[in-house]
């Protein structure tokens, strides 16, 4: 294996990955960071940032060249999400959700379906959402009630979804609905169906008021005799659960990258503040208790990052244990982001608790990485199951 980049634990970045990371870092520092506080305060989707990402081909990263993408690997996508999230967690999530929604098409779509939908997603002209969760089906998708009933060449979908990122602004939503209620195994009851959001019967019931990632709209959806061609189904009937689980193997590293980026942003903000804030006649960065906080923050962020990069390499290489690697990366990165951002607020003292500085936003943003795409408890279940099945 030949690599040009500097050593990063057991991982080395290629020349292309280093260049892309640097380009996204500059974009994030110069164009995204100055908007982050306002995006959080206003709590509306930043259309200008979406345009910025489209103009700079950032949406193109996870798509194949034949669909207008850059044909990059998972680690390259992760580097971009990390750099964007370091400046603004909502912006990192724009890229992560676009990839989350596209993965079912990439892994289960026919060539015709991929040609139809992926180019618009790669250019950023179209947005997509991924709709699994329902009011009574969060950690346990077997509780999904949304029904898709076959009627000639169409499905008629009735039901609803809750907590769906970007669904109120998306052009497409991948909906997981029950098509085979009688299937003996709950995991064979669902199908994945791509719904164009301008179809009659598709309704955004409301959007949520949230603690963090406040520029990312989270929508409740209602489907009332929503008619969609059977040709919009991804994969076979009954494969929906498997498609969702395979999707998480490639999308959870994106949430881990968001977490590592948030943590890195907090480390940098805290170090800068510790150099400048004086108490007892000297910078607080000279106090050993502050130094210990900063050192632990830096070390744990670096550890989470290296684990994430290794997980990406394992998943990209086709390991049989992809679900475990994705879960480990998200578990460690999410918990790290929560701890590091909380400690960053501590370094800032009372100033950490007000919105004059970014660390209070980062602490609120970090919390979601422990919750969505499977809570930390669900990640632990996956890791434990994998471990026990091997021993």
Q: Footprint of ligand FAD on this chain (CB under 6 A)?
A: 129-133, 138-139, 163-165, 210, 213, 218, 368, 371-375, 377-378, 381
Compute the distance between CA of residue 219 and CA of residue 216 in angstroms, rounded to an integer: 10
Minimum CB separation of residue 73 from ligand FAD in Å reads 23
Please count the CA atoms within 13 angstroms of the CA of 379 that sit on its side-chain side: 25
Compute the distance between CA of residue 57 and CA of residue 216 in angstroms, rounded to an integer: 20
Contact criterion met (CB below 8 Å) for 176 and 217: no
Minimum CB separation of residue 90 from ligand FAD in Å reads 11
Compute the distance between CA of residue 214 and CA of residue 233 in angstroms, rounded to an integer: 32
Minimum CB separation of residue 380 from ligand FAD in Å reads 8
Minimum CB separation of residue 344 from ligand FAD in Å reads 21
Write out the H or E segment, with its range, that includes residue 389: helix 376-390
Please say whether the dihedral angle defined by the alpha carbons of residues 245, 247, 250 and 256, taken in this order, is positive or negative. Answer: negative
Compute the distance between CA of residue 73 and CA of residue 317 in angstroms, rounded to an integer: 10
Write out the H or E segment, with its range, that includes residue 74: helix 74-87
For residue 206, the cross-strand partners are 220
Nearest residue to 127 (alpha-carbon basis) of 70, 36, 198: 198
Cβ closest to ligand FAD, residue 36 vs residue 293: 36
**Could you confirm whether 302 is annotated as catalytic?**
no
Minimum CB separation of residue 374 from ligand FAD in Å reads 6
- Which residue minimizes CB distance to ligand FAD? 138
Write out the H or E segment, with its range, that includes residue 225: strand 218-229
Cβ closest to ligand FAD, residue 80 vs residue 378: 378
Nearest residue to 216 (alpha-carbon basis) of 46, 391, 1: 46
Minimum CB separation of residue 151 from ligand FAD in Å reads 25
Cβ closest to ligand FAD, residue 85 vs residue 165: 165
Cβ closest to ligand FAD, residue 77 vs residue 131: 131
Contact criterion met (CB below 8 Å) for 127 and 166: yes
Query: Residue 338 contacts by C-beta under 8 Å, 6 or more apart in sequence?
Result: 363, 366, 367, 369, 370
Cβ closest to ligand FAD, residue 165 vs residue 246: 165
Cβ closest to ligand FAD, residue 98 vs residue 114: 98
Please list the active-site residues.
Answer: 373
């Amino acid at each position: 294996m030949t690599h040009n980049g500097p050593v990063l634990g057991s991982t080395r970045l290629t020349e292309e990955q280093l260049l892309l990371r640097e380009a996204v870092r500059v974009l994030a520092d110069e164009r995204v960071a100055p908007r982050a506080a306002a995006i959080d305060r206003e709590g509306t989707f930043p259309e200008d940032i979406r345009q910025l990402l489209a103009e700079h081909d950032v949406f193109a990263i996870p798509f194949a060249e034949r669909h207008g993408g850059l044909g990059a690997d998972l680690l390259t996508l992760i580097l971009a999400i990390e750099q964007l999230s370091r400046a603004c967690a909502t912006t990192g999530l724009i890229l992560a959700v676009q990839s989350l929604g596209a993965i079912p098409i990439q892994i289960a779509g026919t060539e015709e379906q991929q040609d139809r939908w992926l180019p618009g997603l790669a250019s950023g002209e179209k947005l997509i959402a991924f709709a699994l969760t329902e009011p009574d089906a969060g950690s346990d998708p077997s509780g999904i009630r949304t029904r898709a009933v076959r009627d000639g060449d169409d499905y008629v979908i009735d039901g609803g979804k809750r907590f769906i990122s970007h669904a109120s602004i998306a052009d497409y939503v991948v909906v997981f609905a029950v098509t085979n209620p009688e299937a003996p195994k709950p995991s064979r009851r669902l199908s994945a169906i791509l719904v164009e959001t301008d179809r009659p019967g598709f309704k955004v019931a409301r959007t949520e008021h949230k603690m963090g990632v406040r520029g990312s709209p989270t929508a409740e959806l209602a489907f009332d005799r929503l008619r969609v061609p059977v040709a919009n189904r991804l994969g076979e009937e009954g494969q929906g659960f498997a498609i969702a689980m395979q999707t998480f193997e490639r999308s959870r590293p994106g949430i881990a990258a968001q977490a590592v980026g948030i943590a890195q942003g907090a480390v940098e903000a805290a170090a800068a503040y510790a150099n400048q804030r004086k108490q007892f006649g000297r910078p607080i960065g000279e106090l050993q208790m502050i130094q210990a906080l900063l050192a632990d923050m830096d070390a744990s962020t670096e550890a989470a990052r290296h684990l994430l990069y290794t997980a990406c390499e394992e998943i990209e290489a086709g390991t049989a244990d992809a679900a475990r690697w994705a879960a480990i990366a998200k578990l460690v990165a999410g918990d790290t982001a929560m701890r590091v951002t909380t400690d960053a607020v501590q370094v800032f003292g009372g100033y950490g608790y007000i919105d004059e500085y970014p660390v209070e936003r980062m602490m609120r943003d970090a919390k979601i990485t422990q919750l969505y795409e499977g809570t930390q408890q669900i990640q632990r279940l996956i890791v434990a199951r994998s471990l026990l099945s091997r021993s």
